[in-house]
Structure 1
C-alpha cells in the first residue's frame, strides 16, 4: 500500500490494491486512488493562481468511464490551469447558477401548479375543485417558493390552516390535489422529490364519508340567510338560485354551477356525460320550482346561449364558491344569534344533495326512482338491459321533493313542531 508512480493505464489501474495511490508520470497532478471498497477514483490535483491546493474529482473507473477517458479529461483540466483558470471554482460557479435557475419563477410552486392544471387537471371533471383548492389554500402559503425549497413542515402548517378553516376532510382533499401535482412534477424532473410523505392525512377513509343532512329548521335557516345575503350585497344575485337548485334537483355543486342554456330542451335538462361523474348523460326533468330558479335570459347577454348561474351576464359560470359560502354561513350565524339558538353545525353544499335524497324517502318516493334522480347507476342485469329513461318517474319524484321542501319552508302554524320531529 502506498504511492506508485507510473503511467495511468487500465493495466496499471487493475493492479492497484485498496489504499494504493497511482501518480501519473506524464500529466502532473493526475491521480488514481484505490478506495477501501475496491473501486478506483480518478482525480486531478493542482494549485490555483493564488497558490491554494485544489482537488478535482474526475470520476470512478468502470465500463462507463475508462482510464483513457480519465486521462483525456485530466489533460483538458491541466490545460485550463495552464491558462490561469480554476476548474474547481468554475464548477462551483456553474452549480450556483444552476441553483439560481431552479429558484427562478419557472420553478415556483405557482408555476408548477399552472403547468399541472394546463396539462393534466384541465382534462378532468374535477378541474374546478382542484383549481379552487390551489387558489384558496396552496398558492397563498407556498406559491412564490421554489419547489426545491418546499419543506415537509411547510406542507403540514398549510394543512393545519386548511383544517382550522374548513375542516379535516377539506385538508385531506387539498393534500390529495397537491400530492398529485407534485408527483406529476417528479415524473418530469430528475432532481425534484416531493416533500409529501405518509402520515400527513387528517382523517381515515371511513371518516371522510359524510352522512350530514340538514334538519327542517336548518333548511329554513339556509333559505332565509340566502335572501338576507343578497339584500346585504354579500353574495351575487345568482348565488341563492344556484344553492336552491342543489336541493330541488339533487345535483352536485359543479353540475349545477355550470348549467348552460344549451343543455335545456323544454322542461328537460340534460347534463352531458363529459361533465357528469358516471360519464353518462344525466337527464333531469325540470319542475316548476327549478324553472323559476333558471329564470330568463340574462340582461346584457347578446348571444343565444348562456350559463344559467353567472355573475357575467351568462358569459362565464359562477365559481366564487368559497367566498359566497362564508358569507352565507355568516348570515346563518346572525339569524341564530338573534333568535338565541345554538350555532349551526358545520355543513357543506353537498349536504343539500344528501338532504334531498333523504327528503325523497320521506316523501315515499320508491328507492330506485330516488336513486335515478341522483344519477346513481342501478347495478346488476338492469344496468345492462334497462335503457328506459324513467322521465315520468323522476319527474314525479322531483315534484314530491319540491312539494316537501315548500311545506318545510312554509309549514302550517300548528304543524311546525311536527315537521321538525318527523325529521
Structure 2
C-alpha cells in the first residue's frame, strides 16, 4: 500500500492488487484512495462510522471519474459522515431508488387498483399509466420532477386533447399518492403544482332529434354501431354496454342484470330490455362470453369486451360529417344517455324516480332500504317507459332528414325495419 498524491500517471502505473492512499499534498483527502483489481482501477473512500471502519466505492477510473472529480466526491461523502450519515447506506438507498422506475411502481399500483376498481375505470387508468406516461417509464419515481410532468401533459394535450391530458394527470397523481401511502419516501407528489388542463364546461349536451337521427343512420352494421344504438335505446353507460356478457342476459324474460362489480355505484342493476333493444343484440358466437369485442387482453386476461372506442368514434364522426357536409358539433356517446333521460322526463312524462331507476341513479327515496324494496315495483314502470322511448326513437328515425340519404346503407335500412317491427310499427 502506497501513500502518495493520486494522479492520472500514478493510477495508470498501478499493478493488480496495489493501492494508493491520498497524501503528501495540500489538497489531499484523508481516506481517499484508488486500488486496482485485475484490469480495473477503482476510487474508494474509507472512513469511520460509529467506531467501525467502512468503505464506499466512488467509481471506476475513466469517464466520468478522474482523480480530481473522485477527490471532490470523497470530500462530499466525508461531509455526510460529519452530519452523521453513512455514505454506504446512502449509495444503497440510491440504488434502490433507481430500481423504482415509473413502470415498476405503475405495475404495482395497477395490481392494487384492479382489485378495487370497476373494470371500465381500471381499463382507463391502465391505458393512461402504461401508454400516456410511457416516455417516463425508465425514470425513477424519485427523480421525476414537475418539469417532466408538465412537458408530458402539454404533449398529451396537443396530440390527444385536453380531456385526455387531464385524465392522464389525474391517473399519475393517484398513483403517486398511493405510492407515498405505501411507504415510498418520496418528498412530495410531483404532480401537485402542475397546471391542470382546462376542462370542458359542465356536461349539459342534449342532442336534438335531427342529431339523434343522423347518428343512428351513420352507425355501421358492426359491434360499435350496435353499441351506439343500444346506448340510445337503453340509456345505459358506454362501458356497461360495451362489456355486456351473455351470462348477464335473460332473453326469455327480457332482463339484463348488471352485477355490482360493473356498475358505477356498486349496486346490482336489473334493466328490462324492450323488443327494440333485443333486436339490436348480435347473434351469439360459440365460445364467446361477451356480446362485443371479446378479444385477448394485453394484461393477460382471457377475454374482454369492446375496445377501440376512439378510432370507432372518429370513423363515425367522419361518416356524419360526410352526410351533413360539415362535422356535428362536439358530442360524446354519453350524450345519448343524457338525451334519452331528458326526453323521457320532459316530453314523454316519465316520472323522475322511474328515470333514475333506468339510469341506476341512487338519490332521495330510492336510497337505503326503500330503494331495495322498490326495485321490483319499478320493473314494470321501467319497461313501459323504455317502450315509450323506443317508440319515440323509431318515430323520429322514420322522419329521417333528406340529407342523410347517402349514409344509409342496405344493412342500416334492414336494422331500421327490424326496429320498426320490434316496436310494432310497419313501414
| Same fold, TM-score > 0.5, yes or no | yes
Question: Does the CA contact (< 8 Å) of 1:297 and 1:306 recur in 2?
Answer: no
2:150 is the counterpart of 1:156: yes
Equivalent in 287, 302, 306 of residue 289 of structure 2:
306
Equivalent in 104, 109, 113 of residue 102 of structure 2:
109
Post-superposition CA distance 1:356-405 (Å, at most 9, x none): 11221322322221221111124148753351321111011111221222
**C-alpha distance in structure 2 between counterparts of 1:151 and 1:183, whole Å:** 15
- What is the aligned partner in structure 2 of residue 201 from structure 1? 196
- What is the aligned partner in structure 1 of residue 386 from structure 2? 398
Pairing 1:15-34 to 2, within 5 Å after superposition: none
Q: TM-score, normalised by structure 2?
A: 0.67
**C-alpha distance in structure 2 between counterparts of 1:153 and 1:128, whole Å:** 27
Query: Structure 1 pair 238/413, CA: closer, same or farther in 2 (3 Å)?
Result: closer
Question: Does the CA contact (< 8 Å) of 1:169 and 1:208 recur in 2?
Answer: no
Query: Structure 1 pair 191/358, CA: closer, same or farther in 2 (3 Å)?
Result: closer
Question: Does the CA contact (< 8 Å) of 2:22 and 2:30 recur in 1?
Answer: no
Pairing 1:178-193 to 2, within 5 Å after superposition: 178-187=172-181, 188-191=183-186, 193=188
**C-alpha distance in structure 1 between counterparts of 2:332 and 2:359, whole Å:** 17
Query: Structure 1 pair 248/263, CA: closer, same or farther in 2 (3 Å)?
Result: same
- What is the aligned partner in structure 1 of residue 64 from structure 2? none
Q: Name the count of aligned residue pairs.
A: 330
- What is the aligned partner in structure 2 of residue 10 from structure 1? none
- What is the aligned partner in structure 1 of residue 349 from structure 2? 364
Question: Does the CA contact (< 8 Å) of 1:121 and 1:130 recur in 2?
Answer: no
2:358 is the counterpart of 1:346: no
2:267 is the counterpart of 1:274: no
2:270 is the counterpart of 1:283: yes
Query: Structure 1 pair 121/152, CA: closer, same or farther in 2 (3 Å)?
Result: farther
Any stretches of 5+ residues in structure 2 without a counterpart? 1-19, 32-46, 58-70, 78-85, 297-301, 405-427
**C-alpha distance in structure 1 between counterparts of 2:98 and 2:52, whole Å:** 35
Query: Structure 1 pair 368/98, CA: closer, same or farther in 2 (3 Å)?
Result: closer
Question: Does the CA contact (< 8 Å) of 2:22 and 2:28 recur in 1?
Answer: no
SS at match of 1:334: helix
**C-alpha distance in structure 1 between counterparts of 2:185 and 2:139, whole Å:** 19
**How much has 1:118 moved relative to structure 2?**
0.6
- What is the aligned partner in structure 1 of residue 82 from structure 2? none
Question: Does the CA contact (< 8 Å) of 2:354 and 2:381 recur in 1?
Answer: yes
- What is the aligned partner in structure 2 of residue 20 from structure 1? none
Equivalent in 188, 208, 212 of residue 205 of structure 2:
212
2:22 is the counterpart of 1:50: yes
- What is the aligned partner in structure 1 of residue 10 from structure 2? none
Question: Does the CA contact (< 8 Å) of 2:162 and 2:197 recur in 1?
Answer: yes
Query: Structure 1 pair 331/102, CA: closer, same or farther in 2 (3 Å)?
Result: farther
**How much has 1:323 moved relative to structure 2?**
2.8
Question: Does the CA contact (< 8 Å) of 2:210 and 2:401 recur in 1?
Answer: no
**How much has 1:309 moved relative to structure 2?**
1.4
SS at match of 1:270: strand
Equivalent in 307, 318, 333 of residue 330 of structure 1:
318
**C-alpha distance in structure 1 between counterparts of 2:366 and 2:205, whole Å:** 32
Query: Structure 1 pair 144/363, CA: closer, same or farther in 2 (3 Å)?
Result: farther
**C-alpha distance in structure 2 between counterparts of 1:191 and 1:210, whole Å:** 36
Query: Structure 1 pair 124/195, CA: closer, same or farther in 2 (3 Å)?
Result: same
**C-alpha distance in structure 2 between counterparts of 1:310 and 1:75, whole Å:** 65
Question: Does the CA contact (< 8 Å) of 1:272 and 1:281 recur in 2?
Answer: yes
**How much has 1:96 moved relative to structure 2?**
5.8
Q: TM-score, normalised by structure 1?
A: 0.67
**C-alpha distance in structure 1 between counterparts of 2:214 and 2:137, whole Å:** 37
Any stretches of 5+ residues in structure 1 without a counterpart? 1-47, 57-69, 81-85, 231-236, 417-423
Question: Does the CA contact (< 8 Å) of 2:149 and 2:194 recur in 1?
Answer: no
Equivalent in 234, 244, 253 of residue 238 of structure 2:
253
Question: Does the CA contact (< 8 Å) of 1:221 and 1:332 recur in 2?
Answer: yes
SS at match of 1:312: coil
Farther-moved stretch of structure 1 (172-181 vs 312-321): 312-321
**How much has 1:74 moved relative to structure 2?**
4.7
